[in-house]
Structure 1
């Protein structure tokens, strides 16, 4: 269908969501095929853009970097494999960095809800309680209510930090920031 639109309209016009690729295991389209990411806010191309930005940042690393740090990266179950592949790339470039990707099952809304943006504070607390050795927990800002550091279940970032005795670092979905 995209090829037909590209011939007739000079645009692909229709784009599959990232969820489609995550569920089916199909390879994400190339960066240029997203045509500037016009559907980004609708969950189309977020994974490709993030991956592209990570690759660009890793290219900028010259020489050997050594650290002794460990972070937990909490994500919804849908993005687990994708985030695992990203973290493996980063750990291959930075010696001594351990990124533990933890898929958070959505007990609050139900296990059929798999996206990171609907993970709640209580689910983080319950499922990360057993993880000890870590600098901090990294979460996407999409887990919070817009403009606040409050999860959808009204648990605050500070509540999670207090319960887990770990700093929570919210990040935009940006390869550069990550």
Structure 2
């Protein structure tokens, strides 16, 4: 496995309280569920979340909160990231194509 010096990635499980715990797809998570469950955690420099969590127009979660609102709640930039592995890895490494 390749290693990047200084890079630490933590994956958090978010429980869907908005639609119910049996709903386990990222596209049905809300900004408030994310904020409530990650508030107070050490999130490092940035929170990357799957882009599919945003509506089709790309600027709102299903509960009408925004990535900017989520950033304010958590104290770190909240950035939508692609769901496909190669694009996600580029986003984590800060490589923009």
Instruction: Judge same fold: TM > 0.5, yes or no.
Output: yes
Kindly name which structure, 1 or 2, has the bigger radius of gyration based on alpha carbons. Answer: 1
State the alpha-carbon separation in 2 of the partners of residues 127 and 148 from structure 1.
22
Specify the SS of the correspondent of 2:9.
Answer: strand
Higher helix share: 1
State the alpha-carbon separation in 1 of the partners of residues 24 and 43 from structure 2.
26
State the alpha-carbon separation in 2 of the partners of residues 176 and 135 from structure 1.
21
In structure 1, the partner of 2:91 is: none
Between the two structures, name the one with larger relative contact order (CA 8 Å, sep ≥ 6). 2
1:1-178 correspondence runs (5 A): 92-178=2-88
- The one-character-per-residue Cα deviations of 1:91-150 (angstroms, maximum 9, x if unpaired) are x52232110000100011110001111110000100110213501000111000002220
- The one-character-per-residue Cα deviations of 1:73-97 (angstroms, maximum 9, x if unpaired) are xxxxxxxxxxxxxxxx5xx522321
State the alpha-carbon separation in 1 of the partners of residues 86 and 27 from structure 2.
20
Q: TM-score, normalised by structure 1?
A: 0.47
Specify the SS of the correspondent of 1:151.
Answer: coil
State the alpha-carbon separation in 1 of the partners of residues 65 and 43 from structure 2.
23
- 4+ residue runs over 4 A deviation: none
Gaps of 5+ in 1: 1-88
Specify the SS of the correspondent of 1:125.
Answer: helix
